[in-house]
Homo-oligomer: A and B are copies of this chain.
Amino acid sequence: MRLRKDNAALQPPMGWNSWDCFAAGVTEKQLLDNAAGLAQLKSCGWEYVVCDIQWSEPLAASEKNQGVVYRKFAPLTLDAWGRQIPAPNRFPSSADGKGFAPIADKVHAMGLKFGIHIMRGIPRQAVHERLPIFGTNATADEAARPDSICCWNGDMYGVDPASAAGQAYYDSIFQLYADWGVDFVKVDDICHEHLYVDDPYGAAEVEMIRRAIDKVGRPMCLSLSPGPAVIEKAWHLEHYANMWRITDDFWDDWKLLLDMFDRCELWQGHGKPGCWPDCDMLPLGKIGTGFGQPRKTNFTHAEQRTLMTLWCIFRSPLIMGGDLTQLDDWTRSLLTNEKILAAQQTGREPEQMERDEKHAVWTSLTQEGGRYLALFNLDNKTQTVSVSLSDLEFAVHSAEDLWGDTPATLSGSCIQAELPAHGAGMYLLQK
């Protein structure tokens, strides 16, 4: 049953996340500097500032250490009730029990919203120390499942849905997040086709989390990771979450971008107000200051156009990954093309018209009765991509070039554009 959801994410969210730049080691300063960068894009709809994984680990690295991201059995910063709190060496304003509240306040003061990442579950450290659960007589071990772990990070045990202690624990952390002023929670290790032998998707924990959020009463956008989500659970995701990853981590590699056409094909028709299949963050501009070698994105300009065009016509959330303090003009132009972003915010019924190894075509409806049309050149060389519009049952008389430099020509019921290798064009069709 669709729970309250409090009207969160009625349109696909737009924001920034710390992972692509700073991996597990982002600091308060980096977070706030990027928030300031996002504030400058606010008029285009950019809104959420999200602090990604391991903010309670004092020694978490923004760079891989001997090939691993996470320290084995690393001590986390916990409060007396086993709840993770920001490591004060990395987030100085969190000292004295203030948690993320000071940072959230500053983000709100910029007119933005604040989000955090958490791992599904309860800290193993709290479990083996048998810490009390806030507001109960239970201890953390009662809430935990010894057999429910994450395969790639050893911090947590899964929470037992059969235990009252489990729901109480989730209630206690979401109350804390609400007290801090959190608007967005990215829950990780909960949504992946291969992670759990018995349950590829953590349905029971998703339901506990949804209940905890609805009890708290503060609107919080619930985002699930890591993906790919399983299509068999689309109905459940739509009932309980606001966005969910349809892909594993996305990086600046053409193979991954090409693969996203498969995933968008699969998930078309599942986006609707409050519910957004998520293509993952945008590795654009300067990335990898921390994770991988610092670099400008490996995507070509044409590929970046393809990325933005696909995310927007499909209506994926847009969560920028690049460093907003070092934004170049080209990247800024991608993030501020309001005609393109309008398709993401307001388009209806996006649908793949055709696709083969060489090209793809997507379309959606505008609010005013027009059509968006996206043409993609998936080939490794420049080609003219052409499509018959007769199936649209819509007499096209004009095709506005929304990117501005890839014009299309209409002839009969056909539209065509010359597109560079891996490039895209996007058009607004009118009668």
Please give the residue numbers on chain A whose beta carbons come within 8 Å of chain B beta carbons, in ascending order. Answer: 1-4, 72-73, 124-125, 127-128, 141-142, 144, 146-147, 149-154, 194, 197, 231-232, 234-235, 238-239, 265-266, 268-269, 351-354, 361, 391
B351 touches A2 (CB 8 A): yes
In contact, A269 and B194 (Cβ under 8 angstroms): no
Bound form: Cα–Cα A73–B139 in Å: 12
Please tell me if the beta carbons of B141 and A147 are within 8 angstroms of each other in the complex: no
B1 near A151: Cβ-Cβ < 8 Å: no
State whether B1 touches A128 (Cβ < 8 A). Answer: no
A72-B146 contact, Cβ under 8 Å, with A1-B353, A269-B238: yes
Contact B351 A1 (CB under 8 A): yes
Contacts of A269 on B, CB cut-off 8 Å? 234-235, 238
Q: Is the CB of B147 within 8 A of A149?
A: yes
What's the minimum C-beta distance from A219 to chain B, rounded to whole angstroms? 15
Q: Which of B4, B154, B232, B353 contacts A147 (CB 8 A)?
A: B154
Cβ contacts under 8 Å, A266 to chain B: 232, 235
- Within 8 Å CB of A151, what residues of B? 147, 197
Known: A235-B352, A354-B1. A73 touches B146 (CB 8 A): yes
Chain B contacts for A141, CB-based, 8 A: 72-73
Q: Give the residues in chain B near A4, CB-CB below 8 Å.
A: 391
A352: chain B residues at CB < 8 Å are 1, 235
Q: Evaluate contact between B154 and A3: CB separation under 8 angstroms.
A: no
Which of B2, B72, B354 is within 8 Å of A391, CB to CB? B2
Using A127-B73, A151-B197, A351-B2 as known contacts, say yes or no to A265 and B391 having CB atoms under 8 A apart.
Answer: no
Could you tell me the distance in whole angstroms from the C-beta of A123 to the nearest C-beta in chain B? 11
Contacts of A144 in B (CB 8 A): 72-73
Nearest Cβ distance between residue A47 and chain B, in whole angstroms?
Answer: 26
- CA gap between A361 and B1 in the complex, in Å: 9
Q: Which residue on B lies nearest to A155, using beta carbons?
A: B146
If A125-B128, A235-B352, A239-B351 are given as contacts, then 6 extra A-B residue pairs at C-beta distance below 8 Å, sorted by A number, are A1-B351, A1-B352, A1-B361, A147-B154, A232-B266, A235-B268
- Kindly state the separation between the CA atoms of A391 and B2 in the bound complex, as whole angstroms: 7
In the bound complex, residues from chain B placing their C-beta under 8 Å from that of A146 are 72-73, 149, 153-154
Q: How far is the CB of A354 from chain B (nearest CB, A)?
A: 6
CA distance A312 to B234 in the complex (A): 22
Q: 5 shortest A-B CB distances, which residue pairs?
A: A146-B154, A1-B353, A128-B128, A73-B141, A1-B391
| Across-interface contacts of A73 in B (CB, < 8 A) | 127-128, 141, 144, 146
Closest to A267 in B: B235
The 27 sampled A-B contact pairs (Cβ below 8 Å) are A1-B351, A1-B353, A1-B354, A1-B391, A2-B391, A3-B391, A72-B141, A72-B142, A73-B128, A73-B141, A73-B146, A124-B128, A125-B128, A146-B149, A146-B153, A147-B150, A147-B151, A147-B152, A149-B149, A151-B197, A197-B197, A231-B231, A231-B232, A234-B269, A235-B266, A235-B269, A238-B269
Q: Please report the C-alpha to C-alpha distance between residue A142 and residue B149 in the assembled complex, in whole angstroms.
A: 18
Q: How far is the CA of A72 from the CA of B314 in the complex (A)?
A: 42
Note all chain B residues with C-beta closer than 8 A to A154. 146-147
- Complex Cα–Cα for A151 and B352 (A): 32
Kindly list chain B residues whose C-beta atoms are within 8 Å of the C-beta of A234: 231, 269
Q: Are A265 and B235 in contact (CB under 8 A)?
A: yes
Residues of chain B lying within 8 A (CB to CB) of residue A153: 146
* Closest Cβ–Cβ distance, residue A304 to chain B (whole Å): 26
Bound form: Cα–Cα A197–B72 in Å = 20
Assembled-state Cα–Cα distance A128/B73 (Å) = 8
Tell me which residues across on chain B come within 8 A of A351, comparing CB atoms: 1-2, 239
A268–B235 alpha-carbon span in the complex (Å) = 7
Closest residue of chain B to A392 (Cβ to Cβ) is B1
Q: Closest CB-CB distance, A152 to chain B, in whole Å? A: 7
A3 to B268 alpha-carbon distance, docked (Å): 16
